């Protein structure tokens, strides 16, 4: 099978993963084409996914704004803005892209490939927005909204805790007098272009949980999220939506 057919089959697999079949397959290929690949093929900036990324960013902002506006009718503008930002920022989109996993389908130049671009948050988050733009152009806002709801605006409560895990955990620990939270890098494995990090989060020197990720920051975020789950904070917060219940006492857990 030649490279062109391999590329076509790979993109067909991506269509199956996202549950959307393109009427114009060239739009999907365009959305997956990083500027490094476009440059190697002498296509210039028009051959990359940057313009689709621009369009997809606008569609995502509209859809997410509409979603949170109607989901939280009593929430003030400032909090809505902060909430939306946490779901459409680079780390959040990169996390959502991993669930596809979108990085496996990117068309990269040799240099970008060798330096780990396929797993770089900035690259995959841009591709996520480009994919949204491509779906919008290929069909309608309705289809783009459906994709966004399936892959980005899903599991809202869980993702809020994941995206803000370190902040939430730190705020909870600060309620306990003398409590100190810290993170420890446990390991760093793999080649330079595909590093995997493992970190632990500790409370007063005692390990609460561990996490892994493609960067030290991601590993710490995962560890913090696992700690929140282990401490029961996620469940406590969900219950508080029903009964305005109290906060978690970390000192009682340890």
Residue 57 known to be catalytic: yes
- Catalytic-role residue among 53, 112, 126, 129: 129
Residue 159's H or E segment, with its range, is: helix 156-163
Question: 54 to each of 64, 83, 132, 224, how far by Cα in Å?
Answer: 16, 21, 10, 32
When mean pLDDT is compared across 67-71, 89-93, 233-237, the lowest value belongs to 233-237
Locate tokens 């009427």: which residue?
A: 23
**At 130, is the pLDDT very low, low, confident or very high (cuts 50, 70, 90)?**
very high
CA dihedral 98, 160, 166, 96 (to 10 degrees): 10
Question: 226 to each of 63, 77, 107, 119, 136, how far by Cα in Å?
Answer: 30, 30, 33, 22, 36
What percentage of residues in the chain have a pLDDT greater than 70?
Answer: 91
Res. 237: pLDDT tops 80: no
Determine the average pLDDT of the residues in 164-188: 91
| pLDDT for the residue 252 | 38
- 118 touches 34 (CB < 8 A): no
What is the residue-averaged pLDDT of the chain?
Answer: 87
| pLDDT for the residue 65 | 97
- Catalytic-role residue among 57, 98, 126, 226: 57
Q: End-to-end CA distance of the chain, in Å?
A: 59
Residue length of the chain: 254
Residue 16 known to be catalytic: no
Domains of the chain: 3-154 (1.10.1520.10), 163-253 (3.30.160.20)
Contacts of 140 (CB under 8 A, 6+ apart): none
Res. 248: pLDDT tops 90: no
């Amino acid at each position: 099978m030649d490279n062109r057919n391999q590329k076509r089959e790979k993109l067909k697999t991506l269509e199956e993963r996202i549950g959307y079949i393109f009427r114009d397959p060239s739009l999907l290929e365009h959305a997956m084409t990083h500027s490094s690949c476009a440059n190697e093929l002498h296509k210039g900036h028009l051959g990359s996914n940057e313009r689709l990324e621009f369009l997809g960013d606008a569609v995502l902002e509209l859809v997410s704004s509409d979603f949170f506006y109607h989901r939280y009718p009593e929430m003030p503008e400032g909090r809505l803005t902060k909430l939306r930002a946490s779901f459409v920022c680079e780390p959040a989109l990169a996390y959502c892209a991993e669930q596809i996993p979108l990085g496996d389908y990117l068309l990269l130049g040799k240099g970008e490939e060798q330096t780990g671009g396929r797993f770089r948050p900035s690259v995959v988050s841009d591709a996520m927005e480009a994919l949204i733009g491509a779906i919008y152009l290929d069909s309608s806002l309705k289809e783009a909204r459906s994709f966004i709801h399936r892959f980005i605006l899903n599991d809202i409560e869980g993702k809020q805790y994941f995206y803000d895990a370190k902040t939430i955990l730190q705020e909870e620990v600060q309620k306990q007098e003398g409590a100190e939270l810290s993170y420890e890098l446990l390991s760093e494995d793999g080649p330079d272009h595909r590093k995997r990090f493992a970190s632990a989060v500790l409370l007063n020197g005692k390990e609460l949980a561990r996490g892994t990720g493609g960067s030290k920051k991601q590993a710490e975020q995962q560890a913090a999220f696992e700690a929140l789950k282990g401490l029961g904070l996620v469940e406590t917060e969900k219950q508080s939506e029903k009964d305005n219940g109290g906060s978690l006492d970390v000192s009682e857990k340890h």
